[in-house]
Structure 1
């Protein structure tokens, strides 16, 4: 004869009580079983035997569309902040950049290793800026057109005998770019081949197109927890959101410029220095929560890095090759 419903309930509750009791024997066995079931795959960005960018890097910047002088200043000051400045408070943008420089120390000695790799530096210099406020290619651009803009700038750099050039294309908030918002807020690539190969990157202003995707955490996300957004540290949701995309794309362009550097997964859709650590800006971050960050007591702006001229920025976590883990500044 089967057990009655009350008896079944009693036995089930008794089982739960015994399983959750504080007896050492039961607790130890339970924790061991749970730990054996939950094993995260190690995050490792492997090296694929290609060239990395190092040394003095010259930037050629294309401002496509309309950017205010204040917006340009926010982005330009970020570039200037990458170089070491002894007077900049910690945590600093240059401290974040040091992690990117450390990728050089992981190169095999018998391949692309040189004495400079043991004490690597990546010094950023802005060589040229082009203002295209007339929207020469229109307000709807394909990825091919973005690469053509970069190729034109790279050709000009070649004529000036500039060897280490990175082209940066910024598009304003009224310019729609293919796959913008749907598959990314920025991307990087390369043009040319051989000694004339040049890395480039593109970043769009998401203020009016997809702030919930590409300006988070300064805007409520499209999905997930609808907690109040953080305050943009420089007072411009679009430009401060661009800094996040710019930092991510620049880190990838340096550590994986020609799709043969450091990454995990397929080369066509890789996890790279910053994209391997999505949505993480401070300690304790989890999906939908950026982590513990600093707050400016005067403006209420959230940040995790100091820059030049008193600037403050929120920068994405990056994978640290020395610890094989995502690293944040705070």
Structure 2
């Protein structure tokens, strides 16, 4: 069975080489992601998690809080998330061929004993992704900092694609993101780490005090947006199907207004910690989410 893979994040080197042309495209003529008439994922959508390797309880809570913050359904609580919020950012996906993109966190599997070893191939990721079955879901495989994955740091920080469940022929959308803290933070955790190439501006302070996990949040956001708007390679994208520019990857390196190569843009700064962020989440969390292409305006839209 042929498998479909999508590179979710370009390396900083690629960004620095080509971002000027993307910015010029956005400002001089609209950036257009073509709709290829295929299926998109619509809510209520369940995000299942496979934790591969050792994650601390705090690291898991940062990521789970982010995923729960995506939910645009009004909550039965008097506590309101301040604006700008992660939910408002995610709501942009509803403009893609219309429809709800509400999400819930589903099942979670902890594989702390490295059942497949510490060096994974693409087929290992597919296998892990099929360990959870469920309708209308995305199975997200997250690998710990000591786990190597084929292509990780070389050409990608995360991917999404589709595969068949172990039992039955139903296609399952899945994604993978790795923790780059010790392997390539200058590539996959920018702007929270000094970039390997290009302008050497000081790194930003990460909002949750964990460079690797806050970098993962950026890549998880990218992967999920791509999986929802182009789950089976027939959704919204620009360019070749085997290397598409998608909802967020088309806006690589843009986090706030006025961004340019090596500069993430104007962001909010926590007065106590000095951390940079652009979105509020649940439980008082703050996050940095990437720009997302807005199909109504044909521009890379930021929250600040």
Partner of 1:169: 141
Cα distance, 1:42 vs structure 2? 3.4
Q: Mark the structure with the bigger radius of gyration.
A: 1
**Does residue 58 of the first structure (1) align with residue 55 of the second (2)?**
no
Tell me what 1:28 maps to: none
1:45-88 CA deviation, whole Å, 9 max, x = no partner? 00001000002111221000000001000000001101135701
Please show how residues 1-330 of structure 1 align to structure 2 within 5 Å.
Answer: 40=28, 42-84=30-72, 87-105=80-98, 120-153=99-132, 157=133, 162-192=134-164, 196-330=170-304
Q: Deviation per CA, 1:216-236, whole angstroms, max 9, x where unpaired?
A: 000000011111100000000
Contact kept, 8 Å, 2:71 with 2:104, in 1: the verdict is no
Contact persistence 2:65–2:282 (CA under 8 A): yes
CA–CA separation in structure 1 for the residues paired with 2:131 and 2:192: 34
Q: What secondary structure is seen at the aligned counterpart in 1 of 2:94?
A: helix
Between the aligned partners of 1:180 and 1:212, the Cα distance in structure 2 is: 13
- The SS at the match of 1:152 is coil
* Greater RCO structure (CA 8 Å; 6+ sep): 2
Runs (4+) of structure 1 exceeding 3 A deviation are 39-42
CA separation in 1, counterparts of 2:248 and 2:242? 16
User: For residues 211 and 226 of structure 2, what CA distance do their matches in structure 1 show?
Assistant: 23
Render the CA deviation track for 1:217-269: whole Å, top value 9, x for unaligned.
Answer: 00000011111100000000000000000000000000000010000001000
Q: What stretches of structure 2 of length at least 5 have no aligned partner?
A: 1-26
State the aligned residue count: 271
1:136-188 superposed Cα distances (whole Å, 9 cap, x missing partner): 000000111101111232xxx2xxxx321210000000000000011111100
Q: How many angstroms apart in 2 are the aligned matches of 1:135 and 1:290? A: 35
Give the Cα separation in 2 of the matches to 1:321 and 1:72: 32
Structure with the higher fraction of residues in helix conformation: 1
Q: Give the match's secondary structure for 1:319.
A: strand
CA root-mean-square deviation: 1.4
| Cα-to-partner distance string for 1:100-137 (whole Å, 9 max, x where unaligned) | 111123xxxxxxxxxxxxxx222212221000000000
Question: Conserved in 1, the CA contact under 8 Å of 2:46 and 2:103?
Answer: yes
1: CA distance between counterparts of 2:104 and 2:88? 18
Deviation of the 1:40 alpha carbon: 4.4
Q: Contact between 2:152 and 2:158, CA under 8 Å: does it hold in 1?
A: yes
Q: Please state how far the C-alpha of 1:195 moved relative to its aligned partner.
A: 6.9
Distance in 2 separating the partners of 1:40 and 1:251: 25
The aligned residue for residue 5 of structure 1 is: none
What is the rounded CA distance, in whole Å, between the counterparts of 1:329 and 1:61 in structure 2? 27
Larger deviation, residues 64-73 vs 83-92: 83-92
TM-score (norm 2): 0.87
